[in-house]
Structure 1
Amino acid sequence: MADISLHAERLTDPAHDAYQEPIYDVAQLGHVEILTPRLQDTADFFTRVYGLYTVEETADSLYLRAWNDDVLTSLKITAASEPGPGHVAWRCTSPQALERRVAALEAKGVQGQWTDGDIGHGPAYEYRGPGGHLQEIYFETDKYVAPAGQKPYLPNQPQKYNPHGVAAAHLDHINLLVPDVTAASAFAQESLGFKLRERLIPAGSDDEVGAWLSLMTKAHDLALTQEPYPTEGRLHHLAYAVESREDVLRAADIFMENNVPIDFGPAKHSRTQGFFLYVIEPGGNRVEVFSGGIHIYSPDFETVTWDTETGGRSTAWGLATPPSFKEYATPVYEAP
């Protein structure tokens, strides 16, 4: 039988009080809006080449989904004068969780506002994050119901597996550029319950230049990268997952045949250990095809701090990072 007095002693240990209770009020990256100056070309890329499906269309926007998304839409593309992020949306685990996270944001001085929602989801609390990005949190969402001809054989799938193009399976993560990675990471952890999984602090420096955060067990739902220019609110990349490494390699051939510029990869990341391929869609935004990545099941997982690029190598297997990967983001920065 366990020693009750020993258990009581542990409960009064200062280390016990120092342990931060995990917050699980936010469940996932729900959907993303990106802006494009070439709406039809961007739509053609995401549907015909990347493999998404159109579910709704308005005068200025298209609403898309991947074949394994269980929600009605995970991507909104909107016509604009320049590329970049429109907004990033995080889905809460319940209406009560949404109320708690709104209270947490406002306790930090965030001046947000409620909206009626959009195609595919209900009321949302909209605010600006510390990096200048428009974000929102919400709960109510429309689930995808497959029409006749798309109903799956297996009832635990949202639709029939009928791949086309790259066959992106589901929305995976987003990478945002921020002026202060440490501050933006702390904000995400304290306000929304993100868990800091990995971070990069170069040797000889005290500055955190990269952070990889997740909400549940994934390697990351959100990556934060240090903004190299005196600006804010920029998108580094948006990523959908595919089912295997072979799908990433197949995607490279599909992009090649469709004259889509490959920016970086295919290769394996050191951090997250995901297999990756980055391209630039016709509107100018960087998009990733992602597979794998570590999964974290321990509730007391300790943040991994990197101080080099894996022994001097840019990726796990040594493929060098092109300068464009560190310099290019949308909207494109133009010095005054």
Structure 2
Amino acid sequence: MAPGHEIAHLAHVTLLTPTLEESVRFFTDFLGLEVVGRDGDDVYLHAWDDYVHHSLTLRGHRHAGIARTTLRAFGPEQLERRVAALEAAGRGIGWVDGEPGFGRTYLFTDPDGHEFGVFYDADWYEPSDESRPALKNQAAKYPSGGVPARRLDHVNFLGQVPVDNRDFLADALGAMTTEQIVLNDGTVAAAWTTFGNKSYDLVYTKDNLGLSGRLHHIAFAADSRADILRACDVALDQGVFIETGPHKHAIQQTFFLYVYEPGGNRIELCNAGARLILAPDWKRVDWTELERAKGQAWGLKTIESFHTHGTPTAAELDHEAELAGTDRA
């Protein structure tokens, strides 16, 4: 059976941070997430309209970065088929017990070394008396503080060869590429992929430092552009560093704001839900170097740090290599 539509959606991300408590405050006070559990250096947080038990795990660590990206399959049979495909591709690690709220999870890696998990069994978020919504068709009540972020939206990875990761997602997991950047020499510099009708779930951008396994950003969706504009004032009041925005991407037409959380990870707040991919025969959009040189949709050029900052940093990877007694190269 073809793998298309056997992965339901991006479900959860585990983010590393060297400043755990400060990062927890960022995600609760600025983004409006709720702490729903804690186990040692792991803190579980829920975005108010995500149906899963928690959207994000913050893990205390020596450096920032992404530890794992977890996907939910459409059902038990679809899960087993995707696991068989991952094993056939030689990317499998094996089964583990899932985090609180998630059933057994099969771990694997992409060609760039990022760790993933895929699962099906899940406990839905159960609101407390304090978080119970007035509208029964949303997971929790609308938070009174922070932005707030409605749900986990997408992950943008840095990779040595984006096209290898793009093709792996397509072949093993059934992802569809909706848009990409193609350089003059034919190299794919970035690719946006989706598992369903969202315009994108996972993105791969070329790592200009030639490193593997790093993160560009994770993104949370807001209800509207107005929420993102309000987030700028909230960031100013809370001392949150704004890297760029608010503005509109030409690619995918996402209205965005990029900030850094205290651990150093780049976080995007976006309003992307209005644009859906409904056509089963969607024609991939390729953007040229000349088109990209025109900047974002309203004229702002892409800032330099967007091409250089990723987590962990090169210095942190060197330090990790020293601790392990290896050479990262």
Relative to the length of structure 2, the TM-score reads 0.93
SS in 2 for 1:127: strand
The answer to whether the aligner puts 1:56 opposite 2:37 as a matched pair is: yes
Residues 1:304 and 1:286: Cα distance change in structure 2 (over 3 Å) = same
Q: Distance in 1 between matches of 2:310 and 2:290?
A: 21
Q: Distance in 2 between matches of 1:39 and 1:286?
A: 15
Alpha-carbon offset, residue 83 of structure 1: 0.3
8 Å Cα contact 1:270-1:310 kept in structure 2: no
The answer to whether the aligner puts 1:235 opposite 2:215 as a matched pair is: yes
The answer to whether the aligner puts 1:32 opposite 2:8 as a matched pair is: no
Alpha-carbon offset, residue 229 of structure 1: 1.6
SS in 2 for 1:102: helix
Q: Distance in 1 between matches of 2:143 and 2:122?
A: 24
Q: Distance in 2 between matches of 1:119 and 1:243?
A: 27
The answer to whether the aligner puts 1:317 opposite 2:298 as a matched pair is: yes
Alpha-carbon offset, residue 119 of structure 1: 1.2
Give deviations 1:136-185, integer Å, cap 9, x for gaps: 10111110111223222221111222331110000000000111111110
Q: Distance in 2 between matches of 1:250 and 1:218?
A: 24
Aligned to 1:281: 261
Q: Distance in 1 between matches of 2:177 and 2:47?
A: 27
Q: Which runs of 4+ in 1 moved over 2 A?
A: 308-312
The answer to whether the aligner puts 1:174 opposite 2:150 as a matched pair is: no
Unaligned 5+ runs, structure 1:
1-19
Aligned to 1:153: 134
Q: Distance in 2 between matches of 1:248 and 1:101?
A: 36
Alpha-carbon offset, residue 251 of structure 1: 0.5
Computing the radius of gyration over CA atoms, which structure comes out larger, 1 or 2? 1
Aligned to 1:7: none
Aligned to 2:94: 113
8 Å Cα contact 2:3-2:172 kept in structure 1: no
Aligned to 2:78: 97
SS in 1 for 2:204: strand
Residues 1:309 and 1:153: Cα distance change in structure 2 (over 3 Å) = farther
Alpha-carbon offset, residue 308 of structure 1: 3.1
8 Å Cα contact 1:309-1:315 kept in structure 2: no
Aligned to 1:128: 109
Give deviations 1:301-332, integer Å, cap 9, x for gaps: 01111113646322011111110011000001
Aligned to 2:201: 221
SS in 2 for 1:210: strand
Aligned to 1:199: 180
Alpha-carbon offset, residue 72 of structure 1: 0.9
RMSD: 1.5
Q: Distance in 2 between matches of 1:166 and 1:108?
A: 41
Unaligned 5+ runs, structure 2:
319-329
Give deviations 1:218-245, integer Å, cap 9, x for gaps: 1100010001123211000000000000
Q: Distance in 2 between matches of 1:144 and 1:110?
A: 31
Alpha-carbon offset, residue 121 of structure 1: 0.3
Aligned to 1:254: 234
Residues 1:309 and 1:264: Cα distance change in structure 2 (over 3 Å) = farther
8 Å Cα contact 1:245-1:292 kept in structure 2: no
AA matched with 2:223:
E
